[in-house]
Each structure stands twice: as C-alpha cells, then as structure tokens.
Amino acid sequence: MAVAIRVIPCLDVDAGRVVKGVHFLNLRDAGDPVELARRYDLAGADELTFLDISASAEQRATTRQMVARTAETIFIPLTVGGGVTSVEDVDRLLRSGADKVSINTGAIRRPQVIDQIVRRFGNQVLVLSVDARRDQSQPSGFGVTTHGGRRSAGLDALAWTAQAVERGVGEILLNSMDADGTTAGFDVELIARVRALVDVPLIASGGAGRAADFVAAARAGADAVLAASVFHYGTLTIDQVKQALAQAGFPVRGLVPEPDAGQGD
C-alpha cells in the first residue's frame, strides 16, 4: 500500500513570532506560534515544522520554552530546527517535546555531528534541512546556502544531500531558496533530481501558491509537502491541499468528508 503524502505547515519563528517573507527577506508577522500550531492541528495537518530562522545567524539555541508550549498544544509530530549544532542540542529539544530535530548550518560546519546524533538517538529523529539555490558554479547546478539563505556554503546541494544520507539522516527537508515565499510553485526539477539520488523520505518546501503546486511536487517524488504563507494567510486550507492530492490519485490521511447536500442541519 502506498504511503500517504504528508501535508506539513511550517512555522518560521523570529523573535517569538511566526513570520514569512520572500527569500527570507521583508518578513511579515503571521501570528503567535502556539496559537497557529493549535489551529493547524485541528485543521488536519499531518505534522508541524517549527524553524527558528534567526538562531544560526545569531549563534544561539532554539527557544526551548516556546517549543515546549507548542508541543503541549498539539497531538501531531513536531519537527524543530534552528541553531542545532550538537548531540546536546538535540537532546534538549527532544526533552522539550520535539519528535524530530532538523539540522542545517551545524551539519555543514561539522558533518560528523550527523553520525553522532544518529548513533545516540537513531536516524528517525534527524532531518537534514537543505536550503538549495541554483548555482552554476556547482556540478549539479544547485548550491547550498546557510544562515537563512544569506550565505553560500560553497557546497553542491545534491552531493551534500547524498553525503548526509550516507551518514544516516532519516529525512530530507528540501527548500528551494529561489522559490521560497514566491507562491510561484515548487522547484520540481530540484525535487526530482534529489528524489533520484536518495531513498529516505523527502519533504518539498518553497514556492507553494496553488493546490496544484502540491500535486506537482508529489509527482516529482516528494513524500511530504511543506508550506507556510499559503496556510498562514488563508490562501489555502490543509483540506484543500489534501483534496487536490487525493483527486490526483495520491493517498492522504484524514480527509474531511464532503457535506451531504441532501441533508439539513
């Protein structure tokens, strides 16, 4: 039986508020993270991702108190990332209520931390977040960025992803920095190329604007689809995305039944 495509809202958190911009710039306030998390849980989200987008740039740890409050509010898996650099960081976030932990800049700086985390906790807890951008100086044509997309890591995105999977990461969160916040659609070429390279679950992120965009990402090989602004600002609901995926033939969890037009209240 085919595995259901997961629909995952993303809370990009800066200074205690959910924000969203274009290419991580010109950020707009989108609300309180705990309240949004509760709303998405009730709306049928399969998982939730919480990313402290300024933690690495500010060289600090993710705000664990907010993670704990969020985890207490929801009943779906919670992935937390931002400023993760060590086994100890992962331990603290898991103790705060995270189900999975996402690592990005910390793994690029010290790849062996992947091995250490996997040895301690198993690969099911570790998600590699890859902020990829088209870069013709790299062999694949895609490079890796860090610090919320503000710096080039000087790495080939496909080669880095493959190396991280070999080291044991259990899942890839693949974010197109070119598409991020544009609502112009996921980078399906990037998704397809990474899908052909790795066999771990792949989460597509960056660029969702219409329900059809999520279908295109699934067709390109994504096991899960992640979005922020279209959910935060009411462009789409979780259920609308799931309905579109189901109509395209993809299995999804927890569709809200269509109301029976023949019945009254």
The sign of the dihedral angle between the CA atoms of 217, 219, 225, 229 is positive
Phi, psi (rounded to 5 degrees) for 48: -135, 140
**CA angle, residues 259, 6, 124, in degrees to nearest 5:** 145
- Kindly name the residue from 46, 131, 213, 223 that is annotated as catalytic: 131
Query: Is 131 in the active site?
Result: yes
Cα–Cα distance measured from residue 181 to residue 193, given in angstroms and rounded to the nearest whole number: 21
**CA angle, residues 95, 198, 247, in degrees to nearest 5:** 85
* Contact in structure between 83 and 131 (CB atoms under 8 Å): no
The upper half-sphere exposure of residue 246, i.e. CA atoms within 13 Å in the direction of its Cβ, equals: 13
**Which residues does the annotation mark as catalytic?**
12, 131
